[in-house]
Structure 1
Amino acid sequence: MRIEIFSDVGCPWCFIGKRRFERALAQFPHRDQVEVEWKSYQLDPSLPEHDARSEVEYLTQAKGMPEGQVRQMLGHVTAQALDENLHYDFDSLVVANSWKAHRLIQRAKAVSLAAAEELEEQLFSAHFERGEDIGSEQVLAELGQAAGLTAEQVGEALSDSSWEDRVRADLQEARALGVTGVPFFVLDRKYGISGAQPTELFAQALEQAWAEHQPLQMVSPTAGPGQGPDDGPQAGLDGQVCGPEGCD
Structure 2
Amino acid sequence: MTETIKIDVWSDIACPWCYIGKRNLENGVAATDGDEDAPRVEVTYHSFELAPDTPVDFDGGEVEYLAQHKGVSEAQAQEMLTRVTGVAADAGLEYRFDLLKHTNTVKAHELLHFAKENGAQHALAERLMSAYFTEGRHLGQSDELVALAADAGLDADAAREALESGRFFDAVQADKAQAAAYGINGVPFFVIDGKYGVSGAQPAEAFSQIVRQVWAEHQAPVDAE
Fold conserved between structures, TM > 0.5: yes
Q: Measured at CA, do residues 31 and 147 of structure 1 come closer, stay the same or move farther in structure 2, by a change above 3 Å? A: farther
Of 89, 93, 98, which residue of structure 1 is paired with 2:96? 89
| Alignment size in residue pairs | 218
Aligned-pair CA distance for 1:217: 5.2
SS in 2 for 1:186: strand
Aligned-pair CA distance for 1:46: 0.3
Query: 2 CA distance for matches of 1:25 and 1:137?
Result: 33
Q: Does 1:159 align with 2:147?
A: no
Q: Which runs of 5+ in 1 are unaligned?
A: 220-240, 242-248
Query: 1 CA distance for matches of 2:127 and 2:191?
Result: 23
Aligned-pair CA distance for 1:40: 0.6
Query: 2 CA distance for matches of 1:203 and 1:127?
Result: 27
Query: 2 CA distance for matches of 1:71 and 1:93?
Result: 14
TM-score relative to the length of structure 2: 0.92
Aligned residue in 2 for 1:244: none
Query: 1 CA distance for matches of 2:129 and 2:38?
Result: 23
Instruction: Find runs of 4+ consecutive structure 1 residues off by over 3 angstroms.
Output: 29-32
Q: Which has the higher contact order (CA 8 A, sep 6+)?
A: 2
Query: 2 CA distance for matches of 1:106 and 1:215?
Result: 35
When Rg is computed on C-alpha atoms for both structures, the one with the higher figure is 1
**Matched-pair contact (CA < 8 Å) for 1:25–1:31:** no
**Matched-pair contact (CA < 8 Å) for 2:55–2:103:** yes
**Matched-pair contact (CA < 8 Å) for 2:57–2:140:** yes
Percent identity, aligned pairs only, is 44
**Matched-pair contact (CA < 8 Å) for 1:56–1:71:** yes
Q: Measured at CA, do residues 153 and 214 of structure 1 come closer, stay the same or move farther in structure 2, by a change above 3 Å? A: farther
Query: 1 CA distance for matches of 2:28 and 2:58?
Result: 36
Aligned residue in 2 for 1:149: 154
Aligned residue in 1 for 2:139: 134
TM-score relative to the length of structure 1: 0.84
Of 16, 19, 25, which residue of structure 1 is paired with 2:23? 19
